[in-house]
Amino acid sequence: MNVYEEARMRLAQLHTRRHFLKSFTAGLGGAALSSIIGPAAYAASGMGAPGLGAAGLGAPGFGAAGSGAAGSGGGGGLYRLDPLSPRPPHFAPSAKHVIFLHMAGAPSQLELFDYKPILAKLDGQITPPSLLEGRKFAFIQGAPKMLGPQATFKQYGQSGAWISNHLPHLQTVADEITFLKAMHTDEFNHAPSQLLMYTGNARLGRPSLGSWAVYGLGSENQNLPGFVVLLSGAAGPDAGASVYGSGFLPTVFQGVQCRSQGDPVLFLSDPDGVPRDMRRASIDAISKINQQQYEETQDPEILTRIAQYELAFRMQMAVPEAMDISTEPAYIHEEYGTAPGEISFANNCLLARRLVERGVRFVQLFHWGWDSHGAGESEALNFGFLDRCKETDKAITALILDLKRRGLLEDTLIVWGGEFGRTPMLENRSGQDNPFVGRDHHSDAFTMWMAGGGIKRGFTYGETDEIGYDAVSGRVHVHDLQATILNQLGFDHTRLTFPFQGRDFRLTDVGGRVIREVLA
C-alpha cells in the first residue's frame, strides 16, 4: 500500500460508520452479543474493572502489579463506549448502594443522641477558662455560659440507645442503627467542613464521595444516573455543587441533581416541535463527530461527552417514571409523610428508595437549615431546630423500615449526619448572649449514624466526655468514615485511585482507616 492509499484508508476510518462498527469490540456482532449478555455479565467475568485513567482506559484501583494506579490497561472496548457500565470492586461488597442523608448546617448532637446529665447541672454557669484556652470558635467570644441539653432523653430498643424526645419515630428503629458518638473533623466552618466530608479535602477541586463510588463500580441502571442528588430546605449546601462534583474525575461521574417539583431534571424534555426520532438522529450525528474527534485526540472527556448525550436520551424516558411518587400506594405516603409535587425532605426520602430500587448506586440528600446559633428564631434550638426534626424524623424512619420490608436494607448503606457538631456552651456573639438559645460550631466531637449495608445493628461506638466536648474513646475522623463507606462497597480505599498532576489521588488522601468495630 502506497502513501496515498494509506491516507485514503485513514480518512475512511474517521468518516465511515461501517469502519467504526467493524473496529469496536469485534464489530456489530460483538455489539449485539454484549447487548444480549448484558454489561453485568461482562463485569462478573473479571475482565477488568475499567476506569478512565490518564489514557482513557484505566482500571480504578487495579494498576500494574497491583500498584493501585488507575493507569492504562483494563476493560477496553465496552468501557470506552459506556463508562457507567457495572464493574467489579476489589472484593465482595456488603453494600451495593449508598443513601447519604446530610443535615446541612450541622445538627446539635447534644439535643439528639449524646445525652449528658452533667451538662444539665452546669446550665447557666460561666465556662471555665480551661475549656476555652487554645480552642477555635466561629463566633464565641469572651466567657460564654454552659448550656444544658434542650431535650429529654430515654434509652430505646434492646441496644439501649439514647435518643431524645425530638425524634419519636427514630426511637422505634434504634436497634437498626450504629451510632458513631466520637466523630471529629479538621474544619469548623460549613463550606470547608462539607468539602472535607465529601471530597476528603477542605479545598475545591477534588471528586466527591458519590463520584468515587460510581467511578469504581459503574451503575446497575443504564437509563438513570449512577449518582443522584436531592435537595430540600431553604437553600443548598454551603459548599455548593462541589460537594457532589466529579473534580478531576471525568464529568460523567458527577452527581445529577433531580427535583421533586416540576421537570425532574432541568432541560430534560425535548423542545416543542422536536419529535423523538429527530432527537435520536441528532444525537447519532453528534456522537459520530465526537467519536471522530476522540480518535484524533484520545481525550477521555470526549468519551464522557458521548456517554452523557446517550444517558440524557435514555433518561428522558426513565427519569420521569422513577421520580413520579404519585404512583405509590396511600399507606406509603402516610408512612413517609409525603405530598407529591412539593419540594420536601420526605418526598426525597421516598425518591431515594425508588432510585436504589432501580439500581442507582449513590443517592445524596441535603436538607438545609440545621445551623442552630440562636441568632434568630429560625436558628434557635427551641424553634427552628425543632422544625427540622419534625421535617426529617418520620421520613427517615419510614425509609429504614421500607428498605427493610423490601429486602433492600441489607445491601443499602444509609449514612446520617452533619459536617461537624455543636459546643456545650451557649453561643455569645460579640461577648453578648444571642437572643435565642443556640450553640456554636464544634469540630472535636459530634454524632453520626449508619444503618444497613453490612453495619452492626443496635450498636454504639465511641464516647465523649461528661459534657460532650471531647472524645474519650472510639474517635472517628471523617477520612475513617469515608474509608468505611468505600469498604462496604467493596473497595480498599488506599487502592481506589486516579492519576492527576503527576501522582495518584484517593478520596481519603493520606489518612483513613476502616472502622472494623462497627462491621457486622
The closest of 240, 303, 272, 302 to 84, measured between CA atoms, is 303
Higher-confidence residue of 400 and 301: namely 400
CA 379/CA 87 separation, integer angstroms: 44
Q: Is the pLDDT of residue 440 over 80?
A: yes
Q: Is the pLDDT of residue 260 over 70?
A: no
Residue 224: Cβ within 10 Å count: 25
Nearby residues of 102 by Cβ (< 8 Å), 6 or more positions away: 194, 197, 237, 364, 365, 366, 367, 417, 418, 419
CA 353/CA 38 separation, integer angstroms: 24
Distance of CA 105 to the CA centre of its chain: 16
Q: Name the helix (H) or strand (E) containing 503.
A: strand 503-505
How do residues 329-355 score in pLDDT, each as one tens digit?
Answer: 999 999 999 999 899 999 999 999 999
Q: pLDDT band at residue 54, thresholds of 50, 70 and 90?
A: very low
The values of phi and psi at residue 113, to 5°, are -130, -25
Nearby residues of 305 by Cβ (< 8 Å), 6 or more positions away: 290
CA 145/CA 186 separation, integer angstroms: 25
3-17, 21-35, 363-377, range with greatest mean pLDDT: 363-377
Higher-confidence residue of 251 and 277: namely 251
How do residues 385-405 score in pLDDT, each as one tens digit?
Answer: 999 999 999 999 999 999 999
Match 475549656 to its residue by C-alpha cell: 131
How do residues 152-184 score in pLDDT, each as one tens digit?
Answer: 999 999 999 999 999 999 999 999 999 999 999
How do residues 68-103 score in pLDDT, each as one tens digit?
Answer: 333 333 334 444 557 888 999 999 999 999 999 999
What's the pLDDT score for residue 248?
95
**The overall pTM is greater than 0.85:** no
Pairing mode of beta strands 177-184, 446-451: antiparallel
What's the pLDDT score for residue 429?
81
How do residues 189-221 score in pLDDT, each as one tens digit?
Answer: 999 999 999 999 999 999 999 999 999 999 888
Percent of the chain clearing pLDDT 70 (strictly above): 79
Q: Is the pLDDT of residue 308 over 90?
A: no
How do residues 465-503 score in pLDDT, each as one tens digit?
Answer: 999 999 999 999 999 999 999 999 999 999 999 999 999
C-alpha cell at 283: 444525537
CA 420/CA 186 separation, integer angstroms: 9
Mean pLDDT of 434-456: 96
What's the pLDDT score for residue 461?
98
Match 474544619 to its residue by C-alpha cell: 187
What's the pLDDT score for residue 453?
98
The closest of 410, 405, 476, 503 to 184, measured between CA atoms, is 476
Mean pLDDT of 104-117: 98
What's the pLDDT score for residue 81?
57
Q: pLDDT band at residue 321, thresholds of 50, 70 and 90?
A: confident
What's the pLDDT score for residue 66?
36
Under a CB-based contact definition with an 8 Å cutoff, are residues 140 and 133 in contact?
no
Task: Give me the chain's average pLDDT, please.
Answer: 85
Q: Give the DSSP letter string of 364-404.
A: EEEEE-----SSSGGG-TTTHHHHHHHHHHHHHHHHHHHHH
CA distances from 258 to 195, 215, 282, 400 (A): 21, 20, 25, 22
Q: pLDDT band at residue 269, thresholds of 50, 70 and 90?
A: low
Q: pLDDT band at residue 52, thresholds of 50, 70 and 90?
A: very low
Percent of the chain clearing pLDDT 90 (strictly above): 65
What's the pLDDT score for residue 262?
62
Q: Is the pLDDT of residue 291 over 60?
A: yes
What's the pLDDT score for residue 281?
80
